[in-house]
């Protein structure tokens, strides 16, 4: 798995010249990686979760794993969220196989730090959407 590579050309040069002692064209390396199932993709952005957050989520999943479709269809899911505006300066590209998209090494963690934000609330229930409400925040 090739992950956390910020400069693909730099990595290609390292692989081709330093480790193997060969002068290999970067296009050749790209083709070999492509045929092996590795592709350049924009990293998925996910919120930062601590070990405690992850443990709590796993506990919740274990608690309700035996729910049937009929039970899930009676639940109204609601959440509120701050939408933070940031000075995103572009995408981070990584190299990975298709099934590695959500591995921790293939994700970009996001942190809520922008002073410009909007709070919204919404809900869903079995195929229906509730209103998206913009809330005032302190």
pLDDT in tens, 77-101: 999 887 766 656 577 777 878 788 7
Q: Tell me if 1 is assigned to some domain.
A: no
Residue 82 within any structural domain of the chain: yes
Please give the mean pLDDT across all residues of the chain.
79
Range of the domain at 30: 8-135
Answer whether residue 15 is part of any domain.
yes
Number of domains in the chain: 1
Report whether pLDDT(128) > 50.
yes
pLDDT at residue number 16: 47
Q: What is the mean pLDDT of residues 28-33?
A: 86
- Is 38 part of a structural domain of the chain? yes
pTM of the predicted structure, to 2 decimals: 0.48
The answer to whether residue 3 sits within a structural domain is no
Helix (H) or strand (E) holding 10: helix 8-13
Residue 31 lies in a domain: yes
Residue 130 lies in a domain: yes
Give the C-alpha distances (Å, rounded to integers) separating 38 from 26, 34, 93, 126. Answer: 14, 5, 12, 37
Q: How many CB atoms lie within 10 A of CB 121?
A: 14
Residue 2 lies in a domain: no
DSSP bridge partners of 79: 122
């Amino acid at each position: 798995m090739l992950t956390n590579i910020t400069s693909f050309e730099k990595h290609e040069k390292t692989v081709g010249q330093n480790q193997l002692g060969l002068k290999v064209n970067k296009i050749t390396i790209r083709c070999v990686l492509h045929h092996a199932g590795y592709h350049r993709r924009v990293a998925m952005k996910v919120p930062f979760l601590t070990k405690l957050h992850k443990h709590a989520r796993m506990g919740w999943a274990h608690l309700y794993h035996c729910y049937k479709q009929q039970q899930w269809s009676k639940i109204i899911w609601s959440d509120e969220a701050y939408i933070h505006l940031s000075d995103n300066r572009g995408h981070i590209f990584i190299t990975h196989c298709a099934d590695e998209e959500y591995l921790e090494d293939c994700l970009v963690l996001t942190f809520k730090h922008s002073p410009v934000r909007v709070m919204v609330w919404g809900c869903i229930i079995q195929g229906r959407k509730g209103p998206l409400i913009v809330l005032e925040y302190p």
